[in-house]
């Protein structure tokens, strides 16, 4: 007895307690959804969806019982008859090949033990099974089993397996499909219908036969199931809608959840509803990817991404291709492949899965430079070259390339800061760096509106005449050197209104305005009102030309103040978090403009700034936006030194969007990037999402008056504190007729355009050279 007790104690070491067994919960992955219920991300080692026994199709339940434990509801933790049968078989064979594991024993092994085949593990399995049966009913045990068991393809539980293998919800699977899934628990790899369809079919037939023998199905159902052809989903999770390409935001959610809940975030079934809107996100991705691909194609083909030595043996060749492409992930529209041969019929390529296809001559036009006989070795498309395959307008394959250029777009609701769309780059798999939140770049002239907002509170107004003529500054009192900024187009109009100066993005106007109101005042105003960090707003005059550094998301938050009537809202992206039991863990409670959000600028200031920025969109450097047929768009273009960054920050009353284009390692884009690259990308996006949205009319607010066709703040009217001119004494206003302006670029100087003036005396010269 003592020996038996000692043996049981030894076997029971490290086994779960009754409390642990009473609170069993399968590990559930973290799932991230758009605000309208589209899955945009899933994180966790196990793909699993919870399935209630009551919601399980009867034929699936019967198929599992038929093959795994037909007497499940008749025996206890172990099936004595089954144990004796398996024991006799193993003794006669001299091994441990056969088992008699009940569903409860399998669950015990899956949750707490290993899969090694020996008597010690088997005895521990039995002890845990008895403990489980002591605290759980048969239905609860079967439900746990149906959700816990591993079924291959990273799927755990039958709900997940139904989606992965058949692209269906579990309630939709047929009898034949149920029998196929029921065959997986014994050996998920061996009976995987994707990898081993023949063995999977043999087991399916056997299960259907068992179901018929046990009386679960009649002869007619049995024959129909045998004859039914199975349509597999190639092991991919099906979705009710195409991907919205929201990987960048899904990763932001993942990082925040892990920061809050630790590693358990991957297993506790967190369901996160984001502020993202599916249609808006899709439009943003299409705008960014389309713009970048077009820009890249205009630059021409750069050659293969690399080369790999191809073995002569076919199997070894496939392995070499797969290994080589491991570091070249597929982008959504551009599949990585290796060239196998080149002939007059075209180029034969193989992808990472070993599939081959022939790219016909019509699909080689873009890559023609790589097909020439005199092409350099690094440019030539030859066997072993790693290339990208995409579909052309007719849907036929062609050789393309990943864009070197990058872009970003973020859109948010100005009323509460909810992020509706976020695209952090061309493709997350190819490059996960999130340019919306991580790329700190100079904003160029998109920063000027913040300076002008500060000026409005000092009596400057849209009608203020500002001298647009050359000027020089002595930035360092200890040096004789003068900084002589210039206008982008080299043209100077003399005294012009602030309104016209903003529309034409005149650098001299912005600098004189900032000099007039004071750098320290303007800097403090911008930092406190628009939520920028002091480190991002430099304490010197080039601030007016965008010498600071911001992210697209920060810029969007700043422009939201202009769009919502003057309130500061905080951008956010998580609406709600629930756990695996659907308990709400957190819920967003954003401050709302005109309700409980803090006022950043006065209603009068916001009205005038909106009017000024609407003028930029209609008559200024963003005049192209008129092609959208709307009168309620406002915004500002921006191009940094040497056209290294292209920006457009703009809005309609319901949506603020910031568009950026540039290289990760800054270099010239070769054009007026603000108006010619970033603005068209913004228009592609806004043209789709604003379709059908009524035009918003901004009504005058208390505190503003219109005199002689121009708006003034009531606190600063002519003769009552209004600043009529800056640097214009004795000068007559410019009489040059208004024309539709275009952004222009002056010849670049030899400078990197990124140095801080506080540490590099060359920098002030560089800041002047901004596009509009």
Instruction: Report pLDDT for 720.
Output: 96
- CATH number, domain of 355, equals 2.40.50.140
Query: What is the rounded CA–CA span in Å between residue 259 and residue 206?
Result: 49
Band of pLDDT at residue 414, cut at 50, 70 and 90:
very high
DSSP-derived secondary structure letter, 675 = I
Domain that holds residue 136: 47-227
**Are 375 and 462 in a shared domain?**
no
Instruction: Report pLDDT for 198.
Output: 87
pTM value?
0.79
Query: What is the rounded CA–CA span in Å between residue 703 and residue 534?
Result: 30
Instruction: Report pLDDT for 530.
Output: 97
Out of 445, 505, 602, 675, pick the active-site residue. 445
pLDDT tens digits along 288-345: 999 999 999 999 999 999 999 999 988 889 889 989 998 899 987 899 999 999 999 9
> Where does a domain end: 399, 414, 432?
399
Instruction: Report pLDDT for 473.
Output: 80
* DSSP letter for each residue of 102-155: -HHHHHHHHHHS----SHHHHHHHHHHHHHHHHHS-HHHHHHHHHHHSB-STTE
pLDDT tens digits along 2-11: 544 444 444 4
**pLDDT of 89 above 60:** no
**Are 332 and 461 in a shared domain?**
no
**Are 362 and 449 in a shared domain?**
no
**Are 444 and 393 in a shared domain?**
no
- CATH number, domain of 76, equals 1.10.3810.10
**pLDDT of 700 above 90:** yes
**pLDDT of 93 above 80:** no
Question: What is the gyration radius of the CA atoms in the chain, in angstroms?
Answer: 34
Out of 68, 125, 143, 743, pick the active-site residue. 68
**Are 533 and 664 in a shared domain?**
yes
**Are 516 and 663 in a shared domain?**
yes
For residues 232-260, give the mean pLDDT. 79
Q: How many C-alpha atoms does 580 have within 13 Å on its Cβ side?
A: 19
Residue 703 covered by a domain? yes
32, 85, 571 from 246: Cα distances, Å? 10, 54, 17
> Where does a domain end: 227, 253, 276?
227
* Residue 768 or residue 680, greater confidence: 680
**Are 486 and 555 in a shared domain?**
yes
Which helix (H) or strand (E) segment holds residue 162: the answer is helix 158-166
Instruction: Report pLDDT for 4.
Output: 42
Query: What is the rounded CA–CA span in Å between residue 405 and residue 336?
Result: 18
Let me know the angle formed at the C-alpha of 237 by 233 and 239, rounded to the nearest 5 degrees: 100
**pLDDT of 234 above 70:** no
Residue 447 covered by a domain? yes
Structure tokens at 57: 């199709």
Place of tokens 């092409």: 375
**pLDDT of 56 above 60:** yes
**557: phi then psi, degrees, rounded to nearest 5:** -60, -40
- CATH number, domain of 460, equals 3.40.710.10
Query: What is the rounded CA–CA span in Å between residue 421 and residue 423?
Result: 7
Number of Cβ within 10 Å of residue 598's Cβ equals 11
Residue 661 covered by a domain? yes
68 is catalytic: yes
**Are 195 and 329 in a shared domain?**
no
For residues 576-586, give the mean pLDDT. 93
* Residue 50 or residue 439, greater confidence: 439
Let me know the angle formed at the C-alpha of 608 by 602 and 612, rounded to the nearest 5 degrees: 140
Structure tokens at 35: 């605000």
Q: What total of structural domains would you count in the chain?
A: 3
Query: What is the rounded CA–CA span in Å between residue 424 and residue 651?
Result: 19
Let me know how long the chain is: 772
**Are 463 and 520 in a shared domain?**
yes
CA 250 to the chain's CA centroid: 6
Sequence-ordered list of residues with C-beta below 8 angstroms from that of 582, at least 6 positions apart, any chain? 271
CB of 249 closer than 8 Å to CB of 419:
yes
**Are 317 and 395 in a shared domain?**
yes
Number of Cβ within 10 Å of residue 498's Cβ equals 25
Instruction: Report pLDDT for 236.
Output: 44
**Are 612 and 464 in a shared domain?**
yes
pLDDT tens digits along 635-663: 999 999 888 999 999 999 999 999 999 99
> Where does a domain end: 198, 227, 256?
227
Residue 457 covered by a domain? yes
For residues 762-766, give the mean pLDDT. 38
Using DSSP's 3-state secondary structure scheme, residue 750 falls into coil
pLDDT tens digits along 727-762: 988 777 776 544 434 333 323 232 233 333 333 333
761 is catalytic: no
* Residue 448 or residue 771, greater confidence: 448
**Are 556 and 616 in a shared domain?**
yes
């Amino acid at each position: 007895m003592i020996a038996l007790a000692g043996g049981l104690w030894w076997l029971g070491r490290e086994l779960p307690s009754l409390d642990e067994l009473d609170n069993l919960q399968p590990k559930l992955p973290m799932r991230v959804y758009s605000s309208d219920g589209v899955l945009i991300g899933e994180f966790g080692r196990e793909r699993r969806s919870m399935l209630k026994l009551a919601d399980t199709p009867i034929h699936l339940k019967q198929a599992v019982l038929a093959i795994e434990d037909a007497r499940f509801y008749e025996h206890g933790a172990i099936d004595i008859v089954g144990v004796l049968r398996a024991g006799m078989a193993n003794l006669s064979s001299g091994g441990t090949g056969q088992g008699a594991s009940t569903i409860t024993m399998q669950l015990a092994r899956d949750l707490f033990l290993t899969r090694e085949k020996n008597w010690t593990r088997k005895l521990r399995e039995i002890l845990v099974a008895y403990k489980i049966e002591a605290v759980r009913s048969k239905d609860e045990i079967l439900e746990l089993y149906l959700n816990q068991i591993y079924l291959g393809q990273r799927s755990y539980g039958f709900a997940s397996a139904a989606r992965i293998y058949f692209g269906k919800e579990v309630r939709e699977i047929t009898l034949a499909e149920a029998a196929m899934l029921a065959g997986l628990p014994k050996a998920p790899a061996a009976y995987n219908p994707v990898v081993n369809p023949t063995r999977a079919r043999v087991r399916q037939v056997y299960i259907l036969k068992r179901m018929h023998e046990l009386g679960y199905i009649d002869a007619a159902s049995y024959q129909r199931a045998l004859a039914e052809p199975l349509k597999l989903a190639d092991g991919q999770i099906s979705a009710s809608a195409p991907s919205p390409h929201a990987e960048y935001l899904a990763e932001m959610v993942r990082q925040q959840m892990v920061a809050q809940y630790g590693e358990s975030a991957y297993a506790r079934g967190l369901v996160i509803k984001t502020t993202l809107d599916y249609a808006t996100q899709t439009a943003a991705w299409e705008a960014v990817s389309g713009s970048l691909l077009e820009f890249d194609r205009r630059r021409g083909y750069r050659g293969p991404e690399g080369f790999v030595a191809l073995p002569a043996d076919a199997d070894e060749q496939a392995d070499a291709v797969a290994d080589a492409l491991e570091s070249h992930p597929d982008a959504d529209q551009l599949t990585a492949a290796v060239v196998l041969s080149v002939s007059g019929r075209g180029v034969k390529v193989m992808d990472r899965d070993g599939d081959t296809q022939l790219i016909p001559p019509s699909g080689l036009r873009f890559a023609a430079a790589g097909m020439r006989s005199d092409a350099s070795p690094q440019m030539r498309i030859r066997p072993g070259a790693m290339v990208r395959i995409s579909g052309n307008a007719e849907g036929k394959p062609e050789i393309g390339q990943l864009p070197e250029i990058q872009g970003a777009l973020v859109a948010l609701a100005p009323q509460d800061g909810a992020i509706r769309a976020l695209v952090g780059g061309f493709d997350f798999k190819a490059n996960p760096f999130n340019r919306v939140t991580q790329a700190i770049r100079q904003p160029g002239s998109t920063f000027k509106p913040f300076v002008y907002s500060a000026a409005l509170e000092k009596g400057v107004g849209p009608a203020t005449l500002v001298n647009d003529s050359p000027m020089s500054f002595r930035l360092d009192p200890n040096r004789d050197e003068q900084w002589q900024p210039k206008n982008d187009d080299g043209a100077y109009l003399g005294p012009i209104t602030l309104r016209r100066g903003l529309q034409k993005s005149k650098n001299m106007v912005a600098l004189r305005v900032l000099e007039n109101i004071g750098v320290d005042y303007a800097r403090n105003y911008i930092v406190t009102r628009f939520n920028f960090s002091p480190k991002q707003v430099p304490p010197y005059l080039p601030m007016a030309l965008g010498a600071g550094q911001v992210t697209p998301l920060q810029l969007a938050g700043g422009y939201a103040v202009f769009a919502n009537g003057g309130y500061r809202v905080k951008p956010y992206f998580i609406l709600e978090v629930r756990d695996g039991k659907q308990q709400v863990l957190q819920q967003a409670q954003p401050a709302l403009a005109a309700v409980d959000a803090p006022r950043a600028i006065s209603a009068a200031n916001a009205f005038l700034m909106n009017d000024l920025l609407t003028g930029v969109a209609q008559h200024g450097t963003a005049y192209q936006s008129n092609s959208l047929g709307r009168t309620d768009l406002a915004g500002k273009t921006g191009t940094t030194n040497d056209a290294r960054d292209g920006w457009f920050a703009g809005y309609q009353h319901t949506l603020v969007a910031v568009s950026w284009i540039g290289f990760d390692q800054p270099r010239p884009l070769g054009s007026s990037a603000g108006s010619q690259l970033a603005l068209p990308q913004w228009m592609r996006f806004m043209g789709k999402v604003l379709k059908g949205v009524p035009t918003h009319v901004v009504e005058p607010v208390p505190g503003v008056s219109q005199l002689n066709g121009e708006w003034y703040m009531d606190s600063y009217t002519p003769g009552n504190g209004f600043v009529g001119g800056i640097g214009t004494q004795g000068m007559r206003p410019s009489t040059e007729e208004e024309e539709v302006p275009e952004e222009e670029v002056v010849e670049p100087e030899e400078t990197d355009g990124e140095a801080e003036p506080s540490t590099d005396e060359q920098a002030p010269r560089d800041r002047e050279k901004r596009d509009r």
